[in-house]
Amino acid sequence: MAATPNNVIYIGQKEPMAYVLATITQFSNGNNEVFIKARGKAISRAVDVAEIVRRRFLHDVQVKNIEISTEEREIPEGGKLNVSVISIMLAK
């Protein structure tokens, strides 16, 4: 199953529990796979969210796949900046 907008959680600046709740909600809505995606400094928060979901709330959920990459982003001052990206697939 590929990532669709319905089963992707983008990690940002909120507290990890906000994303944990969003992930649990996706599984409750019938999704068998949920993708947790983050860039840059939010990567550690994405890992925290995946582990909290697995260890505290949904013990039948497994990490099915982890993809890492680098995105090249344009910066307002001109030039380009490389940003690390992670995508963690959780599956029942």
**Cα–Cα distance measured from residue 62 to residue 54, given in angstroms and rounded to the nearest whole number:** 7
What range does the domain containing 46 cover?
5-91
Is there a contact between 20 and 52 (Cβ–Cβ < 8 Å)? Answer: yes
The pLDDT, as a whole number, for residue 78 is 87
The pLDDT, as a whole number, for residue 77 is 87
Q: In this structure, what CATH number is given to the domain that contains residue 45?
A: 3.30.110.20
pLDDT in tens, 13-71: 999 999 999 999 999 999 999 999 999 999 999 999 999 999 999 999 999 999 999 99
Domains identified in the chain, total number: 1
The pLDDT, as a whole number, for residue 63 is 97
Structure tokens belonging to residue 18: 């906000």
What residue type is 75 in one-letter code?
I
